[in-house]
Amino acid sequence: MALLPVTLIGDKILRKKANQVKEVDYKTVELIRDMFETMRNANGIGLAANQVGSDKSIFVIDISVAEGHENSKPITFINPIIIKRSEKKCLIEEGCLSIPDIKSEIERSESITIKYHDTDLKEHILEADDLLARVIQHEYDHLQGILFTDLITDDEKKKLNKEIIKIKKRKFDITYPVTENMDYQLV
C-alpha cells in the first residue's frame, strides 16, 4: 500500500466526470487499498478516486472514526448512482481533503438510496441517512466533478477566495501529501 498525493482545488481532474469501471483488476484493487490508506493518513472519512488522480468511478468511505459510528464498516463504492434523495434536507458543516482547512455549511438530503458495485462487481442497493448519507453525497459529487464549494453562496465564495487561491498555489501547511501541479493525473 502507498500514500497517494491528494489533488487540490484547481487540479483539472477534480472537474472531470469519472469513467465507469468495467473490470476490477489488480491495479484497481491496489488503487482502492491506496485510497483507504491515503484517506486514513489524512484523517478523512471519504475519498473519491479523482482526489488521488484517477478518473475511475470509485469512492471509499470509513466513518468508524466518527463518534457514534464506531461499528460502521469501510465501504468501497464502484460505479455508484444515487437513485433517491429525501426531500427533507439538513444543513451541516463540511470539509474536504482537496480543499484543506476550509469548511462551510452545506445543505444536503437527510437520506439517500444508492446503487453501487463492490470489488467483485456485485450490485448493491444501500439506504443511508445521517453521516453516511452526507459523506456518500459529498463523494458522489466528486465523481460528477462537483466540489462542496460549488454549493455555497457567492458571498461565501468571496469570503473564502483568498484561502482558495493559497491552496491552488500550494501556499499552505498540510500534513499529508498533495499534488505539485494542476495537471496531475494517474495514467
**Positions marked catalytic:** 139
Half-sphere exposure in the Cβ direction for 99 (13 Å, CA): 23
User: Grid coordinates 451541516 are at which residue?
Assistant: 92
181's CB contacts (< 8 A; 6+ apart) are none
What CA–CA distance (Å, rounded) separates 4 from 25? 19
Q: Which amino acid is at 115?
A: K
Q: Strands 123-129, 75-85: parallel, antiparallel or unpaired by DSSP?
A: unpaired
> CB of 137 within 8 A of CB of 61?
no
- Which grid coordinates belong to 6? 491528494
All three cell numbers of 160, joined, read: 473564502
Under 8 Å CB-to-CB from 187, ≥6 apart: which residues?
none
